[in-house]
Chain A
Amino acid sequence: MERQIHLTKSFSYINHRSKRLYFAGMGKYYIKKQYYNKKGLDGGFAITKEVISMKRAILNKYLNNQKGMALAVVVMIFAVVSILAATSLTISLSQTKQSVAAENYTEAYYLARSATDVVSTDIINQINELNDSIPNPSSSAIEISKYNALQAKIDSILTTSNVIVNGIGSNSIQSNIVVVPSGLKKFITVETVYQNEGRTGRAKVQLGKISTEIQTITQSGINTNAIYTWGNLDIGTGLTVTGGGEVGYGGTAIIGNNANINANNSVFPVNIITPPTLDTITDQAILLSEKNGGSFPVKNINKLNNGNYGSLTSTDNNTSINWNVDTSSGDVILVFNSLSLVSSEANINVTGNNDNYNLYIYLMEDPAKNNSVKSLLYFKNDFNITGKNTTGAPKTYIIAYTKAMQAEDNMGKTVTENSELDPYDTAYIKNSAQLDAFFYLPGCDFEIEQGNPVVTGSMFSSDFTLGNTAKINFKPYLPNSALGTQTSMGETFFTIKKMDIEKADLNNTNINKVWIK
């Protein structure tokens, strides 16, 4: 029975087909249809040898029937060829797409790599430029400020994440800078991802480690000189210098007897100190006093009186200056085209409890005047400037330079004795003047005539002439003064951040960057 069940299931298809064939009258054999009511055999035929034989015969006959085969074969061939054609076309189009994509990728890759190259090279260039401009003790304030600005710029760049590069291809390309601190150094990676027609090009480069070092630089140039002249030095019979200052000169020196000085022939940088732009004040009565009862009334001056007063000139003995300058609240800055007094009595007294604030007297050439009238600074006889800060340094700075110096465009450049700078005028200080002041007169000759003048501070001029016995109580410029911060003069200290970049490939000292796959 089990065998019958098995055969019945196996030939169930044949059974159904044979039934159809039988009832269609295609067979002559009688098949007794027998239904089994037992479970699992519903609808089955009784499987006998005859039935099986008959079924096979019918099947063979059906299968051997070749009618309509041509159509079937044609349809099959057509289908196969169509599939082949479609496949071939699909593959071809796919290859075309791939080649176009490869082209787009290649373009994207080189643009991304180029942008990465540009950004990384720019960083290297800027650090190299920074290293090439490290200030030295004789650097000008302008050079120092340029260095600091460049350093600040690099600091800003290295905290940047997004960078836009233009000029490569037709579109802007965005790169990214990744900074990873490593101790005192930084790892800098520049990466660019660029999309071109749906294809992504990537490029990444690793720079050498960048280090930053704080350096303190001391400017020790003119600050050691009580007197410096970039032209000739002519000292009379005696000059006493106290406070450690020396005398320097750029041209020739004539030094009389009994001078206890150590004069050195050397060249120092010269800077132009530009006064701040101030309002023009025409009321000279603020500064000039008319003699009253045998004395000149005191004029109280403070920072509210800062201004450009033009030419302050007195040609008679009844007009002079007698200032009490208060620097408590800020720098007092007075700008003149010339300051010329013939009175024997002239006084400037500077007070103020803040060492950072001083009196600055700027003497500028008056462009309206012709060359025959070019006196800038003229003091006579007992002219006194008094006032020191808590360190004993003068609180007065007298700064003068000529228009010729500006015209030569020597701003920030070193002026030597061979330069075309033409000393413009002479600053006269006569007789027994007592001056607590720094004199910065690089475009002027400076002359102290006769007597026993005493200068507490230092003097910088073109040619320098000192008559007979004079005394210099040397004090260096203060670092935070206009001269100390803007020139190399004075004992100034400044710090810089020195940056350096290691070679990215230690095996090749010429490689600053390594491309990362």
Chain B
Amino acid sequence: MDQVNNLYTEGGIYMKKRLNNKGMTLVEIVVSMTIFAIMSIAFLNIFFGSYLINLRAESRTEIIGEVSGEMENKLSGSTMAGISGNATIMYNGSYTTSTPGMTVTDTQTDDKGQSVSITYFVPEEL
């Protein structure tokens, strides 16, 4: 009998739980959605920022390749534009010579305002 009562009691509790119609209050929903929104904004910002950083890095990598390629084209070309000047060479601190040549600079800028510039002094073979 006790066992039956116990089972009944247990079953009663169970049934009560099953029949509980309590829902979430508006405050709970608002609070949870606010938290969810804040967290979402924070994470979206992080992801979006990360995405932008990626784009910039990718763009920079691209213009590095472009500036290298352009410089190679200039160096291999028969005509190149640059600023004439001299490079000085000091051998072991004793002899100093001056080699005429041309300073060739190539600069590439992407649409994000990033700029990569490289310089090469092309000596003149006399």
Binding site for B on A (CB under 8 A): 28, 78, 81-82, 85, 88-89, 91-93, 95-96, 98-100, 102-103, 106-107, 110-111, 113-115, 117-119, 121-122, 124-126, 128-129, 153, 156-157, 160-169, 512
Q: In the complex the two chains form, is A121's CB within 8 Å of B123's CB?
A: yes
Task: Tell which of A28, A95, A117, A126 touches B3, judged by Cβ atoms closer than 8 Å.
Answer: A28
Q: A88 to B47, Cβ gap below 8 A? A: yes
Query: Does the CB pair B97–A122 fall under 8 Å?
Result: yes
Residue of B43, B50, B89, B122 with highest tally of chain A CB at under 10 A: B89
Contact with A along B72-105 (1 / 0, CB 8 A): 0000000000000111111111110101010100
A122 touches B89 (CB 8 A): yes
Q: Is the CB of A103 within 8 A of B60?
A: yes
A162 lies within 8 A of B119 (CB) = no
CB distance from B64 to the nearest CB of A (A): 5
Contact A118 B121 (CB under 8 A): yes
Q: In this assembly, does B111 line the interface, its C-beta being within 8 Å of a C-beta of chain A? A: no
Task: Tell me if A107 and B118 are in contact (CB < 8 A).
Answer: yes
With A114-B121, A156-B94 as contacts: A99 and B61 at CB distance below 8 Å: yes
Asked if A95 and B116 sit within 8 Å, CB to CB, the answer is no
Which of B57, B64, B103, B121 is within 8 Å of A96, CB to CB? B57
Q: List 24 A-B contacts (CB under 8 A).
A: A28-B6, A81-B43, A85-B46, A88-B46, A92-B51, A92-B54, A93-B53, A95-B58, A110-B71, A110-B119, A111-B120, A115-B121, A117-B122, A118-B87, A121-B124, A125-B125, A156-B92, A157-B95, A162-B92, A163-B91, A166-B88, A167-B121, A168-B103, A512-B125
| Contact partners of B57 in chain A: CB under 8 A | 92, 95-96, 98-99
B49 touches A (CB below 8 Å): yes
- Rounded to whole Å, the gap between the CB of A483 and the closest CB of chain B is 32
CA distance A282 to B30 in the complex (A): 119
The reply to whether A88 and B87 form a contact with Cβ atoms under 8 Å apart is no
- Among residues 34 to 76 in chain B, which have CB atoms less than 8 Å away from a CB atom of chain A? 39, 43, 46-47, 49-51, 53-54, 56-58, 60-61, 64, 67-68, 71
Which residues of chain B are near A165, meaning CB under 8 Å?
87-90
CB distance from B28 to the nearest CB of A (A): 11
B91 touches A106 (CB 8 A): no
CA distance in complex: A480, B101 (Å): 43
Residues of B within 8 A of A89 (CB): 46, 49-50, 53
Q: Which of A88, A98, A164 contacts B90 (CB 8 A)?
A: A164
| Cross-chain contact B39 with A78 (CB below 8 angstroms) | yes
Residues of B within 8 A of A (CB): 3, 6, 39, 43, 46-47, 49-51, 53-54, 56-58, 60-61, 64, 67-68, 71, 85-95, 97, 99, 101, 103, 116, 118-126
Shortest 7 CB-CB distances between A and B: which pairs?
A: A167-B87, A92-B53, A121-B123, A95-B57, A99-B60, A92-B50, A88-B50
B53 touches A95 (CB 8 A): yes
CA distance in complex: A81, B54 (Å): 19
Q: A95-B54, A110-B119 given as contacts; is B88 within 8 A of A156 (CB)? A: no
- Chain A residues contacting B85 (CB-CB under 8 Å) are 167
Which residues of B have CB within 8 Å of A164? Answer: 89-90, 93
Contacts A96-B56, A111-B119, A121-B99: A163 and B90 contacting too (C-beta < 8 A)? yes
State in angstroms the CA–CA spacing of A153 and B97 once bound together.
Answer: 10
Measured between beta carbons, the chain A residues less than 8 angstroms from B47 are 85, 88
Residues of chain A within 8 A (CB-CB) of B125 are 121, 124-125, 128, 512
In the bound complex, how far is the Cα of B106 from the Cα of A114, in angstroms?
14
Nearest CB of chain B from residue A115's CB, rounded to whole Å: 8
Contact with B87, one of A78, A106, A168 (Cβ below 8 angstroms): A168
Contacts of A115 in B (CB 8 A): 121
Decide if A114 touches B91 in the complex (CB within 8 Å): no
For the complex with contacts A107-B119, A118-B123, 10 further pairs of A-B residues with Cβ separation under 8 Å are A89-B49, A92-B50, A113-B120, A114-B121, A117-B122, A118-B121, A128-B125, A156-B94, A160-B92, A165-B87
Q: Which residues of A contact B92 (CB under 8 A)?
A: 156, 160-163
Establish whether residues A128 and B126, one from each chain, have CB atoms under 8 Å apart when the complex forms: yes
> Judging by beta carbons under 8 Å apart, are A100 and B91 in contact?
no
Q: Which of A85, A98, A128 contacts B43 (CB 8 A)?
A: A85
Contact assessment for B88 and A167 in the assembled complex, using a CB-CB cutoff below 8 Å: yes
B53 touches A96 (CB 8 A): yes
**Given A85-B47, A89-B49, A96-B57: A102 touches B95 (CB 8 Å cut-off):** no
**Nearest chain B residue, comparing its CB with the CB of A108:** B118
Cβ-defined partner of B91 (8 Å) among A99, A110, A156, A168: A156
Known: A28-B3, A110-B71, A165-B88. A125 touches B99 (CB 8 A): yes
Q: Smallest CB-CB separation from B59: which chain A residue? A: A99
B90 in contact with A106 (CB, 8 Å):
no
- What's the nearest-Cβ distance from chain A to residue B34, in Å? 14
Whether the pair A118, B120 counts as a contact (CB closer than 8 A) is no
